[in-house]
Amino acid sequence: MRASILRETSRGINAISTVDKLYEERMIFLTEEINSEVTTGVIRELLCLEKADPKKEITLCITTPGGEVTSGLALYDVLRGLKCPVRTVCIGTAASMGAIIFLAGNKRQILRHCQVMVHDPLLSGLSGSRKALELEKEALKLMESRAIIGGIIAERTGHTIEEVYEKTKEDTYLDAEEALAFGIATEIADRI
C-alpha cells in the first residue's frame, strides 16, 4: 500500500504519493536487493534530477542487503559522475554492495542506530560439475572484483588496501561510531 498526502493546487485537492513527494524534494530510496532492474530505476531517477538542477543536492537513502557487483558498480559510477552533489544516508543496514554505493556520496551520513557491512565479494551460482579451468576463470573474476571493491573502499576512506583487505576478509558490521571512525561515514546524523 502506497501512502498518499493531499495537496491543494489551482485544480483543487490532489493526492500525491509520498514517494513522489520525496522525489520532488530530491530524495531517492534504495531499499531492495541490488540488481540490474533496481539500479536502472535509481539511475533513471538520478539522471532526471541532475537534468532538472545540476547544482542542487540529491539525497540517496540506503538500506539494502547488497546484491550484484556489476549492477552496484554501475550505480556507484553514475553517482560519482553526477554534476550535482550527492548525499548518501544509511537508514538501516547498508550491506555489501550497499556499502559501496553508500561510499559514493560526497557527504555520507549514517543514522545513529544503523550499520554498514563490508566484505569481500562472494562467488555465487555454483551448481553442478565444473571443470578446473572454468573454476579458475571464475576465481580470477572474483579476485578482480575484490581489487575493484577494495580500491573503492581504500580511496573513499583513506585506508591502505592492506587495511581494507583485513577489514573485508570476513563480514564486518560497523555501527555508526565505527563507520565514522573507519571513514566509511563522514557524519552521524540524528535525522535525514
Residue 95 parent element (H or E): strand 86-95
Q: What is the pLDDT of residue 161?
A: 98
Residue 17 parent element (H or E): strand 12-17
Give the angle subtended at the CA of 28 by the CAs of 49 and 51, to the nearest 5°.
5
All domains of the chain, ordered by start, with CATH? 13-122+156-189 (3.90.226.10)
pLDDT in tens, 6-31: 667 777 777 778 888 899 999 999 99
Q: Yes or no: say if 72 and 43 are a contact pair by the CB < 8 Å rule.
A: no
Q: What is the pLDDT of residue 36?
A: 97
pLDDT(1) > 60: no
Q: Yes or no: say if 116 and 186 are a contact pair by the CB < 8 Å rule.
A: no
pLDDT(164) > 60: yes
Q: What is the pLDDT of residue 5?
A: 64
pLDDT(157) > 80: yes
pLDDT in tens, 17-71: 888 889 999 999 999 999 999 999 999 999 999 999 999 999 999 999 999 999 9
Active site residue 96: yes
Q: How confident is the model at residue 155 (pLDDT cuts 50, 70, 90)?
A: very high
pLDDT higher at 104 or 9:
104
pLDDT(187) > 80: yes
Please name the amino acid found at residue 49: L
Which residues are registered as beta bridge partners of 27? 59
pLDDT(107) > 60: yes
C-alpha dist (Å) from residue 126 to 22, 39, 97, 145: 40, 24, 20, 17
Which residue among the candidates 4, 96, 124, 159 is catalytic per the annotation? Answer: 96
Active site residue 36: no
Q: What is the pLDDT of residue 125?
A: 62
pLDDT(108) > 60: yes
pLDDT in tens, 111-123: 999 999 999 998 7
Q: Look-up: residue for cell 530510496? A: 29
